[in-house]
Amino acid sequence: MIEVLSVTAEVYPLIKTGGLADVAGALPAALAQSGVTMRTLIPGYPAVMSRMTSGREVWSSEDLFGVPARLIAGRVEGLDLIVLDAPVLYDRPGNPYVGPEGWDWPDNWKRFAALSWVASELGLGLVEGYRPQIIHAHDWQAGLVAAYVKYGPSATLKTVMTVHNMAFQGTFGAEIFPQLRLPQHAFSVEGVEYYGGVGYLKAGVECADVVTTVSPSYAAEIRTPAFGMGLDGLLNNRSATVHGVLNGIDMDAWNPATDPALAQNYTASTIQQRGVNKRALQEAFGLEASNGPLFAVVSRLTWQKGIDLLAANIDQIVQAGGQLAVLGSGETELENAVRAAVMRHPGQVGLVTGYNEALSHLIQGGADVMVVPSRFEPCGLTQLYALRYGCIPLVSRVGGLNDTVIDANVAAMQADVATGVQFAPPDAHALGDAIRRTLALYADEKSWKKMQRRGMKSDVSWQASAARYAQLYASLIGVTTDDNPDH
Ligand code: ADP
Ligand code: GLC
C-alpha cells in the first residue's frame, strides 16, 4: 500500500463550505481500491472536535507557532483523521476561514501555516508508527506543506499540490515570513516569495513534486493569463508536472435510489417518480404546483458562479412558464437580485438562503434543470450530482463543466450522446439563448427523458480519477501501481 497524508481545511461530512470538502471526503475510500491508504489532517474546528470523542492523543506541544496544540487520531464516518487541536487557532465560531461577521480571520496565515508545518513534521515521523510517503495538499491553506518539505531534511518525502480554485491564493505581507519557521533563502522566487509578499498557493505550485487541478480543461485554462490569476507563468514553467484530474462524486452519498433526503427514491427506469420530489421542492420554495420546467441553482452566490447572468434571465424563464428555485448565499448584491425576482414573481421564483445539505439533495432529485452559469469553474460538482439524479445540467462551457456535460446540439442529439446544455461565452445573452434551447428540449418529453436517463448512466464516479491519482503517487515513489505488492 502507498501511504498518503491528505491535508485539507474542510472534509465532508464534518465541515463543508464547498466542493473541496466533498472531494477530500470521498477520495480516501475511492483510493483504497487502488492500493492507497489515505489519512486526513484537518484543523480542530468546533464541528470537528465535537465528533472526535473517541480519538486518542498522539502528539502534543506547548508551542506550535506560540500556542498549545495536540494531535488527535481517530476514525469518524469512515475517515481516518488526524485532527490538529489548537483551540487558540481553531476553536472559533464562523466557518473555517471567516468569522461570524464574514471577515477573514486576521491570523489565517498562522492558522494554516501551523496546519502545513504539522503535516510536514508528520511526514518526518512526528508520530511513532506513522510515516506517510506522500503528502497531498489541497488549496492555499495547505500550500506551505510543499515549502516545508522542500526546505526540510527529508530527501524521500514527496508532495502533491491540488489546486481547487486559482481565485483563492492565500497571499500575505512579507512581515509574516520570519514567523513561518522557514530558512531565510525560502523567501525567494523558488520558494514562498510572491510579488514581494508570501504566497501560500504560489509556494505549493512552485515547490510540490506534482501539481494537479480538478479537470483537464481547467489545467489548460490556468496556463493563460485570463484564468491563471498571476500564476500562469509559473504553471507554464512547470507544465510537465501539472495534471488535470477530474473530480468524481461519492456514489453512495449521492444515490437517488437510496437518498434519505428525497421525498421519493427512484432509478433511471422509474424516472417519472421524480415528480413527487418536484412537488416537495415546489412546496419547500413556496412555488405553485406546476408542470412547467423547474430550473434550480445550488451554489455560492458569487461572481465566479455567474449568478448575475442568471438574474438577468429570470423574467424570461417565468414568461415561458418556467419556475426557478435558488439555494445559496453569498454576495449581498446577488442575493438581492434574486430576492427582487422573488418579489416580481411570487409563486414562480423561490430563494432559500444559508447552507442546507438535505435541501440540496431534494433539489437534485426534483428540479428539471440545474443551472451552473460560471465564469470559471475548476471542476464543479453540482452538475455531476445533477447528471446522477436525472436533472439536466445547463452550464457555461468552461473548466470542468466543459469536460463533464455533452451539449445537446443537433449532432449529439442524433448520436444519442447529449447529457445537457452548454453555452459560451459566459454572458447573459448566451445564457438567454441556452435557456430558450432548454425550453424547446423540455417540450419534447420523450427525448428529454432519454437525455435524463443518459445522464444517470454516465460515469461520474471516482473510479478512473482515483486510479489516476494512484498512478501519480506511484510514479513519485518509484513504483508502478501494478507492481505495488500490496495491491
Ligand atoms: P464550489 O466548491 O466552487 O462552491 P462545487 O460545485 O465544486 O463548487 O461544490 C459545491 C458544493 O457545495 C456542492 O456539494 C453543492 O451541493 C454544495 N452547496 C453549495 N451551496 C450550498 C448550499 N447553500 N446548501 C447546501 N449545499 C450547497
Ligand atoms: C473548488 C472549485 C470547484 C471544484 C471544487 C472541488 O471549490 O470552485 O469547481 O469542483 O473546488 O474540487
Per-residue pLDDT of the chain (487 residues; tens, 9 = 90+): 999 999 999 999 999 999 999 999 999 999 999 999 999 999 999 999 999 999 999 999 999 999 999 999 999 999 999 999 999 999 999 899 999 988 999 999 999 999 999 999 999 999 999 999 999 999 999 999 999 999 999 989 999 999 999 999 999 999 999 999 999 999 999 999 999 999 999 999 999 999 999 999 999 999 999 999 999 999 999 999 999 999 999 999 999 999 999 999 999 999 999 999 999 999 999 999 999 999 999 999 999 999 999 999 999 999 999 999 999 999 999 999 999 999 999 999 999 999 999 999 999 999 999 999 999 999 999 999 999 999 999 999 999 999 999 999 999 999 999 999 999 999 999 999 999 999 999 999 999 999 999 999 999 999 999 999 999 999 999 987 654 444 3
**Gap between the terminal Cα atoms of the chain:** 6
Cα–ligand 2 centroid distance for 245 (angstroms): 12
- pLDDT for position 482: 54
Nearest ligand 2 atom, CA 400:
9
- What is the rounded CA–CA span in Å between residue 426 and residue 89? 39
- Would you kindly state where each structural domain of the chain is located, as residue ranges? 2-248+462-476, 268-456
Q: Is 137 in the pocket of ligand 2 (CB under 6 A)?
A: no
Nearest ligand 2 atom, CA 247:
12
Please, what is the Cα angle at 313 between 424 and 337, to 5 degrees? Answer: 115
- pLDDT for position 245: 98
Distance (Å) of CA 291 to CA 103, 190, 274, 348, 442: 42, 59, 12, 12, 11
Choose among 3, 10, 300: nearest CA to 138. 10
- Say what the pTM is: 0.97
Q: Is 381 in the pocket of ligand 2 (CB under 6 A)?
A: yes
Cα–ligand 2 centroid distance for 335 (angstroms): 21
Q: Is 247 in the pocket of ligand 2 (CB under 6 A)?
A: yes
- pLDDT for position 76: 97
CB-hemisphere CA count at 13 Å for 383? 30
Q: Is 18 in the pocket of ligand 1 (CB under 6 A)?
A: yes
The number of the ligand nearest the C-alpha atom of 16 reads: 1
Cα–ligand 1 centroid distance for 333 (angstroms): 19
Classify domain 268-456 at the CATH topology level. Answer: Rossmann fold (3.40.50)
Choose among 446, 244, 261, 213: nearest CA to 362. 261
Cα–ligand 1 centroid distance for 185 (angstroms): 39
- What is the rounded CA–CA span in Å between residue 454 and residue 118? 46
**Does the N-terminal peptide bond of residue 425 adopt cis geometry, omega within 30 degrees of 0?**
yes
DSSP conformation class of 438: H
- pLDDT for position 108: 98
Position 304, amino acid = Q
Q: In testing the pocket of ligand 2, which one of 165, 303, 305 has its CB within 8 Å of the most ligand atoms?
A: 165
2-248+462-476 and 268-456 in the same fold: yes
- pLDDT for position 484: 44
- What is the rounded CA–CA span in Å between residue 109 and residue 100? 18
- What is the rounded CA–CA span in Å between residue 253 and residue 116? 29
- pLDDT for position 481: 64
Cα–ligand 2 centroid distance for 19 (angstroms): 5
Q: Is 139 in the pocket of ligand 2 (CB under 6 A)?
A: no
Q: Is 164 in the pocket of ligand 2 (CB under 6 A)?
A: yes
Q: Domain 2-248+462-476 classified CATH 3.40.50.2000?
A: yes
List the beta bridge partners of residue 122: none
Cα–ligand 2 centroid distance for 197 (angstroms): 26
The number of the ligand nearest the C-alpha atom of 385 reads: 1
Cα–ligand 1 centroid distance for 22 (angstroms): 9
DSSP conformation class of 420: B
Nearest ligand 2 atom, CA 18:
7
Other C-beta atoms closer than 10 Å to the C-beta of 184 total 9
CB 99 within 8 A of CB 92: yes
- pLDDT for position 483: 42
The number of the ligand nearest the C-alpha atom of 296 reads: 1
Residue partners of 117: CB distance under 8 A and separation at least 6:
64, 65, 144, 148, 181
Cα–ligand 2 centroid distance for 247 (angstroms): 9
The number of the ligand nearest the C-alpha atom of 218 reads: 2
Give the residue whose CA is nearest to atom 20 of ligand 1.
Answer: 299
Q: Is 111 in the pocket of ligand 2 (CB under 6 A)?
A: no
Residue partners of 89: CB distance under 8 A and separation at least 6:
43, 65, 67, 69, 107, 110, 111, 114
Cα–ligand 2 centroid distance for 86 (angstroms): 27
Give the residue whose CA is nearest to atom 7 of ligand 2.
Answer: 19
Q: Which helix (H) or strand (E) holds 296?
A: strand 294-298
Cα–ligand 2 centroid distance for 484 (angstroms): 31
Q: Is 116 in the pocket of ligand 2 (CB under 6 A)?
A: no
Distance (Å) of CA 210 to CA 233, 245, 288: 16, 12, 51
Position 288, amino acid = E
Cα–ligand 2 centroid distance for 454 (angstroms): 24
The number of the ligand nearest the C-alpha atom of 382 reads: 1
Q: Is 360 in the pocket of ligand 1 (CB under 6 A)?
A: yes
